[in-house]
Each structure stands twice: as structure tokens, then as C-alpha cells.
Amino acid sequence: MSKKEVNYSQFNNSWFKRGATPIKVMLWYLTNLLFFKNGFFPFMSFKRFLLRLYGAKIGKGVIIKPNVNIKYPWRLEIGDYSWIGENVWIDNLDRVIIGKHVCVSQGAMLLTGNHDFKKVAFDLFVGQITLEDGVWIGAKSIVSSGVTCKSHSILTVMSAATKDLDAYFIYQGVPAVKVKERVIE
């Protein structure tokens, strides 16, 4: 196996834009720390207000539990009556669209960014995540960049969605595979 000379000066992610001024980003980091990542601040209506203030589109009756980490609220949309559980991480370098009546369970991660392991500098790439209406993301599961979880699909506990999930199916494993149809009574 031959080794190539590594040129780390090739690393350049200057194409990536946060989508807000540095001051807004800094203010959001402080707000996120005080009111979202904080386990002692349970007031949902104020959390919804803050997210809207920073540019998120938040529906009616959205529940955001304690210890939630949201990277950039201006790239977040959550539909009516959806639930974001404790310790969820929404790492939205790109848009995250969460439909109506969606449950993102405890400790789940929505990761819109990743790195190209074929590049010496692990170049960043990003992709939107969409969770359509009625989706359930199980506890400690991961949804990767560019994935759409279609209507009423389920990603079970500690699974990883690296590709789109079909509507009304249950997925399990790492990487997640279709295990059975979801029947709603």
C-alpha cells in the first residue's frame, strides 16, 4: 500500500454559510444554552416564541422537552402537534423540516452534515432532512443528511437512517432496513 503526501492546505469549507450574521449566531448560541439545552426550563410557549423570534417556523401545540440542542433555528420548520423529546440534537447545517404529529424521541439526532472520508481534509457536505407527517424517530436513533422519512414511517430505537424511508413502514438497524409495514388502526 503506497502512502500519498498529505496536503492539509486543501481543506476549504468557505462555501458553507451559517445563514445569519455572526452576532445573531452568537446570540442564538447563548439563547440555546439558557433556554433549550437547560434541563430546568420547561416552558413550551416561551421556547416556541424564541424559535419563531430567530426565524423558525413552528406550528401549534409543538412540544420541546428539556435539553434539546438546535444548531440554527432559522433552518428549522416544525408542524402542528409535533414532539421533540429530551436530549434531541437537531444539527441543522441545512434545512430540517418536521411535519405534523411527528415524534422525535429522546436522544435522537438529526444530522444534516457529514464529512467526505475520501478527501484528506474530510470536506463537509450537507443535505436537508425531511420528516413527513406522522413519522416517529425512536430514542437514540440517527437520521443522516439528505434523508426523507416519508409519511408515517418509523425508525426504531437506536437505528440509523442513511437512506429514505418509505411511507407506512417500520425500519430497524444500522443501517436501517425495512422490517414490516406499519398498520394504523
- Tell me the pLDDT tens digit for each residue of 29-70: 999 999 999 888 878 899 999 999 999 999 999 999 999 999
Domain assignment of residue 40, given as a range: 20-180
In a domain, 112, yes or no: yes
In a domain, 120, yes or no: yes
In a domain, 185, yes or no: no
In a domain, 82, yes or no: yes
What is d(CA 94, CA 114) in angstroms, rounded to the nearest whole number? 11
- Tell me the pLDDT tens digit for each residue of 77-107: 999 999 999 999 999 999 999 999 999 999 9
In a domain, 43, yes or no: yes
The residue to which cell 492546505 is assigned: 9
In a domain, 42, yes or no: yes
In a domain, 172, yes or no: yes
What is d(CA 160, CA 143) in angstroms, rounded to the nearest whole number? 6
Per-residue pLDDT, averaged over 115-130, amounts to: 84
What is d(CA 44, CA 115) in angstroms, rounded to the nearest whole number? 34
Report the CATH number that the domain containing residue 61 is assigned in CATH: 2.160.10.10
Number of domains present in the structure of the chain: 1
Per-residue pLDDT, averaged over 166-171, amounts to: 98
Least confident span in 12-21, 123-132, 166-175: 12-21
In a domain, 157, yes or no: yes
